[in-house]
A = this chain, B = another copy of it.
Amino acid sequence: MHFSSEQRLRDGVHERGFSIGDIPGMLWTPSSASPTAPVPLILLGHPGGLSRMYPRLAGRARHAAAEGFASATIELPGSGERPAIPTVEQARADLRQAIAAGERPADDTIDRLILPLVDAAVPEWQACLDSVLGLPEIGGPVALSGGVIAVGVRLALAEPRLVAAGLFAGSFVPRAIIDEARRVTIPVHVLLQWDDEGNDRQAALDLFDAFGSAEKTLQANMGGHTGVPTYAGEDAARFFARHLR
């Protein structure tokens, strides 16, 4: 883990850019964090493109810091300045073509778009976790917040250090990932934008149904893909506070 930039935000939050190998990432820690008082950690998922997503990620990180939690994120494989993955780009072109034609994307297209991303991303998030938890001011427990939901499902299944996952059901879900969700047992809080026209609502409901967790909550709201209401964000923040404190 190599730190490449550092700044103190107005509210005292310590923001650092880093890289792990060729994967860029960002880390935010509250001013309260210290080796004698290490803080819990939230992994901030996103749809890819760290620079483009920076303002929203920094906003989420500042909210987490106000609760006493550190936040970390890394770039997704094939996104931002990382090299494109040709097979995924082909699947993305096929997806756009299907949507432009007013068709539901084929399961095979969704698989080719999402599954390679899941396979590549999950070990990278685990490596990120190794590095960040190695810092003396970051202690755990660890929760996941948002991002490509299929990545979140696999990470919730594969990573025993995760104690809770807040997921955003706003991207395509391969059927194989719905099957994996049956073996997820950590508490999950799933946000669904009910009127998100580009989303497959039934797949989101099937995924929620599949989770094996004894504590699982689905919260569906209006406002379109990017219009998650403020109160829904607050309810999700309480989910993290319940499981990280």
Say yes or no for A208: interface residue by CB 8 A criterion: yes
Check A106 for interface membership: any CB of B closer than 8 A.
Answer: no
Main secondary structure on A side of the interface with B = mixed
Pick the residue among B217, B229, B234 that contacts A219 (CB under 8 A): B217
Query: Is A101 close to B, CB under 8 A?
Result: no
- Indicate which residue in B205, B218, B222, B231 contacts A238 across the interface (CB closer than 8 Å): B231
A102 nearest CB across to chain B (Å)? 21
Report yes or no: A232 in contact with B217, Cβ–Cβ below 8 A.
yes
Copy number in the complex reads 2
Cα distance, A236 to B218, chains bound together (Å): 14
Q: How far is the CA of A238 from the CA of B238 in the complex (A)?
A: 12
A235 within 8 A of partner (CB)? yes
Q: Residues 219-231 of chain A: 1 if any B CB is under 8 Å from the residue's CB, otherwise 0? A: 1111000000101
User: Quick check: is A107 within 8 A (CB to CB) of the other chain?
Assistant: no
Q: A residues 198-245 with Cβ under 8 Å of B?
A: 205, 208-209, 213-222, 229, 231-232, 234-235, 238-239, 242
* CB neighbours of A209 from chain B (8 A): 194
Query: What residues of B have a CB within 8 angstroms of the CB of A234 in the complex?
Result: 238
